[in-house]
Amino acid sequence: MQLTDITKSIFGQLSLVISQLTDESYSRKLDVLGGKNTIGQHYRHILEFYDCLLIAAKSGRLSYDERKRELSLETNVKVASAKINELEKALIEIEPGKQLQMSAVYGDDNDPFMMITSTERELAFNLEHAIHHIAIIKIALLTDFPTVELPTDFGVAFSTLRYQKQAKSTS
């Protein structure tokens, strides 16, 4: 299975969950998320990272730090759903193994750290990054919106799923 196929399955999970939310529930500040964060903010963050990768796949230059923050992605279910669909369709444009020049600022000095990466490495990173945020979304949903139906493996890392499967087969 290719990374783009796995990404599409994650987008499918995100679509299934968001289809059950209203704009109000999607953008509500939740106590379980520190009282100031929302499910929508986590969706926006995931989607913007994928957007950065798709832009970089064309330009050869990647910076997650310089991403455009599209606030409607965190407040409007229809806008976020449309973005998921747009990103899923755009995945076919990613050239496997294309080298990217990535810049990132760590610390206080604003001096970017430059590194070489690839579209495949960044697809893998984005998958892990998305699953991390989906796990946080899952906690929020289970706490504040327990009637939302979640995919079985929603927010569970692939390595954890493999481990659980292996442990189950040996017990």
Closest alpha carbon to 34 in 164, 157, 136, 171: 136
Whole-number pLDDT of residue 128: 95
CA distance 23 to 80: 10
* Choice between 166 and 76, residue whose per-residue pLDDT is larger: 76
Whole-number pLDDT of residue 1: 57
Q: What is the pLDDT of residues 97-151, one digit of tens each?
A: 899 999 999 988 888 999 999 999 999 999 999 999 999 999 999 999 999 999 9
Q: Confidence class of residue 158 from pLDDT cuts 50, 70 and 90?
A: confident
CA distance 128 to 122: 10
Closest alpha carbon to 48 in 80, 22, 23, 89: 80
Q: What is the pLDDT of residues 6-58, one digit of tens each?
A: 999 999 999 999 999 999 999 999 999 999 999 999 999 999 999 999 999 99
CA distance 91 to 79: 19
Reported in sequence order, the residue ranges of 3-122 that DSSP labels E, i.e. its strands, are 61-62, 99-104, 113-118
* Choice between 159 and 153, residue whose per-residue pLDDT is larger: 153
Length of the chain in residues, anyone? 171
